Amino acid sequence: MPMKHRFMFILVPVLLFWLLSGSPLLAGEHHYRVYTVEISGEVSPTMAAYVKRALSDIPDGDNQLIVMKMDTFGGRVDSALTIVDLIVNCRKGETIAFVTKKAISAGALIALACDGIVMKPHTTIGDCAPIMVDSKGPRMMGEKFQSPLRAKFRSLARKNGYPEALAEAMVTADMEVYRVVAGGRTVYIDDVEYAELDKSEKAKITSKKTVVKKGELLTMDDTEALKFGFSRMTASGLADMLRSMGITSYDIVPVKRSWSESFLRLLGTIAPLLMLVGLGAVYTEIKAPGFGAPGIVGIICLALFFMHQYAVGLAGYTELLLVLLGFVLVALELFVLPGFGIAGIGGILCIITGLVLSLQGFVLPDPAMPWQTDLMVSNVIEVLSAVLAAFLVALFILRFVLPRLSVVVKGPYLETTLHDARADSRAVGGARAGDVGVAVTPLRPSGKVKVGDAVYDVVTEGGFLEKGARVVITAIRGNTITVTGEGER
């Protein structure tokens, strides 16, 4: 056989083996698309809606990475769990949590849901204890709140091969974790598990070191996260991370917030204020004659509030219809039905129920998710506070603001005043203080009273009076006739 043929006979099989085995050079030639999603600021329903949209917009394909750029102190547990489920169920590429500054509390939960964690130098991750803020300040929630979160952390740690005991130590301070070396193998176990080891198992231990002390929550910097097996590497930036992963050919595709999502994020921060102003303005419009600025302001504020809650998936048509029904019932009670009874109370309850449901993604709390109970209580308190504050603000506007608006509204006005007039004399249609009459309309507090054959516009001194009630004129000041119930004198 000629030398050339023998050389080809040897070279061809070698090349085939090299190609089929997947050489490093060819592996490096794969072109990747790297999608980046920002997880920054407070973890909230707005963020969950953004992550859902971002992941759905990423097309299916090979050689794709989805990088969650983490910089958050945490936020709502329900929103964090929604984001966790979205990431865990994502099948469009490998997900990497790239901690650029911090991934604390709910941020740590989201980071553990990704397929891998990479951290920048001097960044931190951990401390996911459930916290509730009340009148006494922040306080850590009890065992029934920590238990389901620990189970979630264990599940995510098991999925990615992280030490389960250390993952649980991010949630619960009432546990101690040891680094144990036995038979050349290093494991992390908590104090309860260590106490249950028999003598033969303890005899095999060659080293035992406390990693997390009781009373502390695990919070790791980039070096500790790498040492404990949570972080794959410490990288100075996205390019450094990709280079360390052997990816040299790639396109970076940022999945940015749209202008509408940025607007929703702004609305989320002022949602309680929108609710308060909207309720107060609508109540002011109901009590004031005609339809003007308060009604327009109220409708705009409540529309923006419900638009935000609907967009982030917390409110639907049911909640909106409940609130609208509530306002209709309140207006019916004020203008049509006598007294204040079932319609008024039912209207207020409808408004409160609709607003509470629009602040949460469930109707009744799930016993398996105990934080939902606290969230519902917090929402009820927030709505009741807004309703009370709106009522007080509306009364202030009706009493002090609206009567003075004529000062800034252009005339023409009459220059003459009634300063020297005797308004409490017979000039006021013949009415005098001490006269007895009958209410011909409900007095709430204003209305009409018939004294003799004449009908006067009057105002009550205190509470509301029903139609037909006997009243007594107590004072006449200017054009204002003040009355009280005959039995209240």
What are the CB-based long-range contacts (under 8 Å, 24+) for 335-342?
Answer: 338/442, 338/466, 338/467, 339/442, 339/464, 339/466, 340/464
**Residue ranges of the chain whose pLDDT lies below 70:** 1-29, 132-142, 144, 289-291, 338-340, 402-429, 462, 487-489
The count of other CB atoms within 10 Å of the CB of residue 255 is 18
Q: What angle in degrees, to the nearest 10, is found between the helix axes of 293-311 and 271-287? A: 150
DSSP per-residue letters across 165-213:
HHHHHTT-SS--EEEEEETTEEEEEEHHHHHT--HHHHHTEEEEEEEE-
Q: Which of 443, 456, 450 is nearest to 484 (CA)?
A: 443
User: What is the pTM assigned to this prediction?
Assistant: 0.72
Q: Which positions ≥6 away from 18 have C-beta within 8 Å? A: none
The whole-number pLDDT of residue 355 equals: 92
Rounded to the nearest 10°, the torsion over CA 266, 271, 274, 278 is 140
CA separation for the pair 355, 320 (Å, rounded):
8
157: left (phi over 0), alpha (psi -120 to 50) or beta: alpha
Q: Which residues of 123-134 are buried (b: 16+ CB within 10 A; e: fewer)?
A: bbbbbbbbeeee
Contact by Cβ (8 Å): 77, 45: no
CATH domain 414-489 topology: OB fold (Dihydrolipoamide Acetyltransferase, E2P) (2.40.50)
Nearest one of 43, 45, 42, 41 to 358, comparing CA atoms: 45
Helix (H) or strand (E) holding 235: none
Q: What is the predicted pLDDT for the residue at 423?
A: 45
CATH 3.10.20.30 is right for the domain spanning 30-127+225-257: no
Contacts of 428 (CB under 8 A, 6+ apart): 456, 476, 479, 481
Q: What residue ranges do the domains of the chain occupy?
A: 30-127+225-257, 144-217, 260-406, 414-489
Q: How many Cα atoms sit within 13 Å of 166 on the Cβ side?
A: 25
Sheet architecture: strand order including 185-190: 185-190, 177-182, 205-212
Place of tokens 């205190």: 462
Q: How far apart are alpha carbons 343 and 329 in whole angstroms?
A: 5
Nearest to 358 by CA among 326, 311, 301: 311
Q: Which letter does DSSP use for residue 36 in this model?
A: E
**Phi, psi angles (nearest 5°) of residue 169:** -65, -15
Instruction: State residue 291's pLDDT score.
Output: 58
